[in-house]
Amino acid sequence: MSVIRPIIIDADGVVQLLDQRLLPFEESYVRCESAEAVAAAIQAMVVRGAPAIGVAAAAGLARGSQSLGEDSFDDGFERLCAIMGESRPTAVNLFWAIERMKGVASADHASAAARVAALDAEARAIFAEDIAINRAIGSHGETLVGPGAGVLTHCNTGSLATAGYGTALGVIRSASEAGKNIRVFADETRPYLQGSRLTVWECQREGIDVTLLPDSAAGHLIASGAVDLAVVGADRIAANGDAANKIGTYQVATMCQRHGVPFYVAAPLSTIDRSLPDGSGIPIEQRSATEVTEVFGTPVAPADVPVFNPAFDVTPAELITAIITERGVLRPPFAAAIAAAFAADSTA
């Protein structure tokens, strides 16, 4: 058992981020001394995964607030929030964390120093809560995993994608901790390879049996009967349960439905965007052509080919068997289940 620490908030508020671009080959941290540095790190994928992006953003805003003057605090903090909000568009946890930090910044405080202290405490609370939430997701989700199950997952949703433990990979971890002897199948997750670089690395460190497959083999694997369930994370879930997640998730869900395999989404309530009635309004990040035309800097396609490289897709709610949250396992119809989960959680 090893502890993976993707985000470290130092005593002075400096944010250290495990550089996920270098994994699994090198473990080193990027030191972020400002909110701008954290925003740049999110944009550059030093840190990625919806909950981790939110936690890092909160920590970055807390650190950035230290350099704001008493008289210009409000304007300065607003500017830092705007910079942070520009870093990546799809994961709603980013905007959720910014709003939570704004709420603290705008509360009554005796001085800028008191405001800074409150922001620091809030960022650390968001960090700690995220780990507790993931553990709750894990224990709810683990009940859905039978002994010896074959579990397919897509992208990386583990410790690296959160403050620690993970969402979908947290379910897998909980099942493994419960001694269920599961077998994990990890899609490589082209083009950024979060599955092969990150999920396989995490599973191997945790002693979880993992087999890597190309994304294009998932349908064949599911059809073979080797997969008892699929569990993935989410970057933004609409009020009706439509769920945006890493590109390729929709294909996995479709193949699961065709073969009668349960398809689960594991995510905290902070990933649910109730302002969107369905998934059609979820902004989908488009990423650079070179992620597809090159592999680690080596060309694998004619350089001038037009490229379609969306980072996420939306799985319609009707393909989702259940959404595993810290409030329990939500079943269709999701609109009512999501509303009830929020009603039961006044902090969400």
What is the binding site for ligand MRU (CB under 6 A)?
A: 48-51, 91, 155, 157, 161-162, 167, 194, 233-235, 245-246, 311
Please report, for residues 139, 274, 300, the alpha-carbon distance to residue 162 in angstroms, rounded to integers and kept in the order given. 16, 21, 32
In the complex with ligand MRU, the residue whose CB is nearer, 119 or 203, is 203
In the complex with ligand MRU, the residue whose CB is nearer, 65 or 90, is 90
In the complex with ligand MRU, the residue whose CB is nearer, 117 or 329, is 329
237 φ, ψ (degrees, to nearest 5): -115, 130
Shortest reach from residue 234's CB to ligand MRU, in Å = 6
Shortest reach from residue 51's CB to ligand MRU, in Å = 5
- Cβ-closest position to ligand MRU: 233
d(CA 299, CA 290): 8
313 in catalytic set: no
Shortest reach from residue 206's CB to ligand MRU, in Å = 16
Are the C-beta atoms of 55 and 130 separated by less than 8 Å?
A: yes
202: CB partners within 8 A, 6+ apart = 4, 156, 158, 159, 160, 166, 169
In the complex with ligand MRU, the residue whose CB is nearer, 104 or 253, is 253
Shortest reach from residue 160's CB to ligand MRU, in Å = 9
Q: Strand 183-187 vs strand 150-153: parallel, antiparallel, or unpaired?
A: parallel
In the complex with ligand MRU, the residue whose CB is nearer, 66 or 167, is 167
Shortest reach from residue 8's CB to ligand MRU, in Å = 18
For helices 50-65 and 112-142, angle between their N-to-C axes, nearest 10 degrees: 170
Please identify which of the residues 19, 215, 235, 313 carries the catalytic annotation: 235
Please report, for residues 72, 93, 276, 317, 339, the alpha-carbon distance to residue 279 in angstroms, rounded to integers and kept in the order given. 38, 16, 7, 9, 16
Q: Strand 272-273 vs strand 236-238: parallel, antiparallel, or unpaired?
A: parallel
d(CA 191, CA 136): 31
In the complex with ligand MRU, the residue whose CB is nearer, 101 or 155, is 155
Q: Which of 146, 143, 133, 163 is closest to 55 using CA atoms?
A: 163
Are the C-beta atoms of 316 and 242 separated by less than 8 Å?
A: yes
Q: Which of 159, 179, 162, 167 is closest to 141 using CA atoms?
A: 167
d(CA 134, CA 166): 6
In the complex with ligand MRU, the residue whose CB is nearer, 91 or 338, is 91
Shortest reach from residue 90's CB to ligand MRU, in Å = 8
Shortest reach from residue 109's CB to ligand MRU, in Å = 33
Q: Which of 290, 283, 279, 274 is closest to 335 using CA atoms?
A: 274
H-helix segments, 180-246: 194, 200-206, 218-224
Kindly list the catalytic residues.
235
